[in-house]
Amino acid sequence: MSQKTRQIDRGVALDLAELTPGEMETLAADLGAERFHGRQVFRWLHRRGIADPGQMTDLPRTLRARLAATVTVRTPQIVSDLRAADGTRKFLLGLADGARIESVFIPDTPALTFCISTQVGCAMACSFCLTGRMGLVRNLTAGEIAGQVRVLAGATGLLERPFNIVLMGMGEPLHNYDETMKALAIIHADDGLAVSPRRITLSTVGIVPGLDRLATEPLMPNLAVSLHATTDEQRSRLVPPNRKYPLADVLDACRRFPLKRRSRITFEYVLLDQVNDTPDDARRLVRLLNGLKAKVNLIPLNPAPGIPYDRPSDARVNRFAQILAERHVHVSVRKSRGLDIRAACGQLIVDGGPRRSSGQQAAVLMR
Ligand code: SAH
């Protein structure tokens, strides 16, 4: 039995936006049409942004009618669209079940970047991260992950232009592995937005089995690993998954990760004043990364209410960066974007969606 039939049997309308091109072909066949019509449907939806089968004018009339009767398209709806002085735009998106997520458009030239979420909430509980405080509400579907890109590309007029995608919003992509990879397949498909994997960066706390699985994928995004500390003792406090996957194991997984020529793994390091930003930390970081094709992205903490750390001074940030650079580690300092609309990393707070308890809040983190 095909996925389509299963879902219809359960009384849940199938979400067209969740299907890969191959699955669309199977659906077309299930509905009594030629398989190639499935590709046309995929193109209408993902390349042209048309969700209503009635408007898919090159499909046979019977297929249009059957699609209209059996499927739905769950497109995230724009609830609000805030613009910062620096051009950053923060979108609050509503999902079909009432859950809400935020996605951000960062217009840095030359790279135009969408920062998107993979989960509502997050189970990782990093101590400087607001999303971590609410726990996991639910995984996003592949359709909802890819849908963020579709909606943002439409709203920013970029459907026809190249852009970058960072999976750095709410959630841990390797903790929602299958849906995340399926979303990447949808975003990458030639009949859709055709985004090259080179333009996609997946950011993870370092779930080792997920990293090893990612290493075998035909469609391999760039990899960013949230390191944030240089000893297991400290990292376990800041990034709790470290208790299960300690530093050495994460770095070993990075060492065996197949990298294309000239590419490097990005190690993100949130700088917390007087906590993990000392010269000793910087020197230990250099030693840890020895032998790895690495670049370090320092992220001075974006403070948020309830986060028990401070942002270090520029002098401390620069000193840390300088120690890395002097020892020939590639290093950059992430700029805070959209501060005036609270769109910088760790500053986004949205309703958690289907209300479990009133006042429960979710935060979306982005670049
Ligand atoms: N779960 C993934 C992706 C989401 S977070 C991960 O952990 O990598 C994207 C980046 O923003 C991570 O490096 C995260 O540590 C960082 N971040 C979280 N809270 C932050 C804050 N308050 N200030 C600055 N960066 C933060």
Q: pLDDT (tens digit, 9 = 90+) per residue, 198-253?
A: 999 999 999 999 999 999 999 899 999 999 999 999 999 999 999 999 999 999 99
Q: How confident is the model at residue 2 (pLDDT cuts 50, 70, 90)?
A: low
216-219-222 Cα angle (round to 5): 90
Cα(172) to centroid(ligand 1), Å: 10
Residue 353 confidence (pLDDT):
40
Q: Is 131 in the pocket of ligand 1 (CB under 6 A)?
A: no
Token output for 117: 């979420």
Residue tagged active-site, from 18, 23, 102, 172: 102
Q: What average pLDDT score do residues 165-184 get?
A: 97
Tokens 């990458």 — which residue?
188
Could you tell me if the CB of 180 is within 6 A of ligand 1? no
**Confidence class for position 9, pLDDT limits 50, 70, 90:** very low
Quote the pLDDT of residue 36. Answer: 97
**In the predicted structure, residue 257 carries a pLDDT above the cut 90:** yes
In the chain, what are the domains? 3-72 (1.10.150.530), 77-365 (3.20.20.70)
Report the predicted TM-score, pTM, of the whole model to 2 decimal places: 0.91
Ligand 1 center–CA 225 separation, angstroms = 10
Distance 186 CA to ligand 1 centre (A): 25
Clarify whether 102 is annotated catalytic: yes
The pLDDT value given to residue 20: 96
Residue nearest to atom 20 of ligand 1 (CA): 346
